[in-house]
Structure 1
Amino acid sequence: MIEAASITAVMRALADPTRRAVFEQIVNSDEITVVELTRASSVTQGAISQHLKALKQAGLVAERPEGRKVYYRAEPEGLEPLVDWMSHYGVFWRDRFANLRTLLKEIDP
């Protein structure tokens, strides 16, 4: 199965609603700075930086320094552990619903 540590890191990073909102802002832009992220939110620049640190540690964002600015971009590969995990359980539930459908057809002639 999928490595539990990477799934846990991604889930923890995305568990916080503010962090999810920051991640969505990053996903919806090619690259974005901390200043731009701060302007678009209701939290401080320090808080945004902490959220970015967690997202970066989880492999969800990457940074590119340019002069005094640092640009952040989404790393789609970072979501792979979560997608793999969800796919595994998607198969599980599809099988269960197929079995339930068969059972219901047998019960109701």
Structure 2
Amino acid sequence: MIKTNVFSEELQELARFAKAISHPARLAILKYLAETKTCISGDISGSLPLSRSTVSQHLNELKELGLIQGTIDGLKVNYCLCNTDINRYLLLLESFFEPIKSVSIHCDTNQVKESNSK
């Protein structure tokens, strides 16, 4: 039995999103695409401190989740942000964290350290 199946589809989707953005290279790619304010044609590895093959792997991860799209144009690939999917994930995150951030319990880090050392 796969343990993730016991969780709601929403939690599984949030986990996939969190995993996709958990790598600084993927965050850098998203940031770069946002800063250019246009679709990028061709190789973007020249703009990042990573090899072409590493950038390609990260682009594929982002494409699989739908955060970016890549369309082939001759010998080049045009990469664009998918704002619709990005906004959908942000709304999911917001709705997930809303009840958590409204909890009025404040953790005293000294008490946590004391209880962990027992």
User: Is TM-score (shorter-chain normalized) higher than 0.5?
Assistant: yes
- 5+ unaligned residues in a row in structure 1: which ranges? 101-109
Structure 1 counterpart of 2:98, one-letter code = G
Question: Who is 1:40 aligned against?
Answer: 47
Question: Who is 1:6 aligned against?
Answer: 13
What is the RMSD computed on CA atoms of the aligned residues? 2.2
Identity %: 21
Q: How many residues align?
A: 97
Whole-angstrom CA distance in 2 between matches of 1:34 and 1:49: 11
Structure 2 counterpart of 1:8, one-letter code = A
- Structure 1: 4+ residue segments shifted above 4 A: none
Question: Who is 2:35 aligned against?
Answer: 28
TM-score calculated relative to the size of structure 2 = 0.69
| SS of the residue 1:28 aligns to | helix
TM-score calculated relative to the size of structure 1 = 0.74
Q: For the structure 1 residues 34 and 11, does the alpha-carbon distance in structure 2 shift closer, same or farther, using more than 3 Å as the test? A: farther
Q: Does 1:86 align with 2:94?
A: yes
Which segment is superposed worse, 82-91 or 60-69?
82-91
- 5+ unaligned residues in a row in structure 2: which ranges? 1-7, 107-118
Q: Which has the higher contact order (CA 8 A, sep 6+)?
A: 1
Question: Which structure shows the higher helix fraction?
Answer: 1
| SS of the residue 1:39 aligns to | helix
